Amino acid sequence: MPLRRRRRTKIIATLGPASSSPEVIERLFRAGADVFRLNFSHGSHADHAERIAIIRALERKVERPIGILVDVQGPKLRVGRFQAGRVQLQTGQGFRLDLSATPGDVRRVQLPHPEIIAAAGIGTTLLLDDGKLRLRVTRQRDDHLETEVVVGGALSDRKGVNVPDVLLPIPALTEKDREDLAFVLEQGVEYIGLSFVQRPEDVAEAKRIADGRAWIMVKMEKPQALENLDEIVRLADCVMVARGDLGVECPPEEVPLAQKRIVRAARALGRPVVVATQMLESMITAPAPTRAEASDVATAVFDGADAVMLSAETAAGQFPYEAVNMMDRIVARVEQDSGWRTLMDANRPVPEKSSADAIAAAARQVAHTIEAEAIATFTSTGSTTLRVARERPDCHILGLTASERTARRMAVVWGVHPLVTPELHSMTDMVAKAIRAAAQEGFAKTGDEVVVTAGVPFGTPGTTNALRVAIVK
């Protein structure tokens, strides 16, 4: 029997020290992982090349397309070092951030980022160590900032700095990121996770470098990106709600609303959207999640996210298999609920005024009316399949394509079962292949109906203009 998922929402699992062997990676795939994420903040190119080779070997073994997401690190803003390795800052005291490399003490430390010193103004908030400490700028000079400690605590060497109030003149891609991009684009991965996005220009630059070889998945993690939300999502190929970093720079009460806003914007524009960070966080050290975490995953599924993501749970946790299995169980259970289906129907975006969108909307409507078992989409770039997925139909979607690259990209898209199929030459050929695929992959049996959509002439991207209903013989 072919390997197929019963659920529509996809699962991304991050690989790391706890999940780097072929046996564990295969176990995670069989437990429910559709896409594997490689985090380039850690590990060498050789380590990552080995994992990519393992995933591709697994793909050949299971005969299913598997997506690979590479997360590039982006700029890391940090303070310098302290004489004693750490200091204790008291609320209300003064603290100076300067450019001097001299190890710091309880009165000052190096901030090796002149861009922050130049961009800050009186009243600017600086967050240190993932927001645990908070400083407010009281004076700005060319080479240093005088601040008051608003929330004190322990501060140690090289802790991170966040500047939520200010648009920083820092590009989203560092030299390291550019080297990593050159490497992974040669390797042939499906998605590039882009950190530190503040402006649409950041996305445009990454897309220029990728040049169609990979989809750019923009990580929404900065308040400045939320101010340019629609423009950034329009430029992106897919979007990630990176709640960890977003939760540092935005007040906690804003993060759930930001999540809903981002998912809504991505769905309206037909971009796949991933909800990530701390979804089953307690499973790093426990074999079962908290009830709140299970509820959090369910919320993302109810919102209509294309995929949910596991980070440290599978990369460094003690229970990587159990985490994927639990995610799979929660998602599948939510999707059996009648309230979930009602929400999918209520939140369906309005089709754009194009024949391609009209056909996609009609395919969903026809499939619903005749209770078809599947919608089969033929696509060269993925655009036809994406349009149908945006409709959130109540049957499964077969994403048929002659391109292995396109099939792998579809691994992150809601409800899509991607398949590589030979080139088509006629409408008759298309219908025959669609019903054969639906039967062979376990979606339909003799007498069942399948809705088929494609673009004619075949092989011309973005021309979805044909709709057929076929009966499985």
User: In sequence order, what DSSP letters do the residues of 146-174 get, joined into one string?
Assistant: EEEEEE-EEEETT-BEE-TTS-----S--
Residue type for position 169: P
Instruction: Name the active-site residue from 78, 81, 132, 333.
Output: 78
Number of H helices and E strands in the chain, helices first, is 17, 21
How many Å apart are CA 56 and CA 69, to the nearest integer? 13
Decide: helix, strand or coil at residue 116: helix
How many Å apart are CA 148 and CA 126, to the nearest integer? 10
In this structure, the number of other CB atoms found within 10 A of the CB of residue 310 comes to: 30
Q: Are 105 and 81 in contact (CB under 8 A)?
A: no
46-51 long-range Cβ contacts below 8 angstroms, 24+ apart: 47/20, 48/183, 48/184, 48/187, 49/187, 50/20, 51/15, 51/20, 51/25
Identify whether 219 is a catalytic site residue. yes
Sheet holding 144-151, edge to edge: 108-110, 94-98, 144-151, 133-140, 125-128, 161-162
Instruction: Name the active-site residue from 7, 8, 10, 37.
Output: 37
Instruction: Name the active-site residue from 277, 401, 406, 453.
Output: 277
Helix (H) or strand (E) holding 470: strand 464-471
Q: Is 249 left (phi over 0), alpha (psi -120 to 50) or beta?
A: alpha
Instruction: Name the active-site residue from 8, 108, 159, 219.
Output: 219
Give the residue numbers marked as catalytic.
37, 78, 219, 277
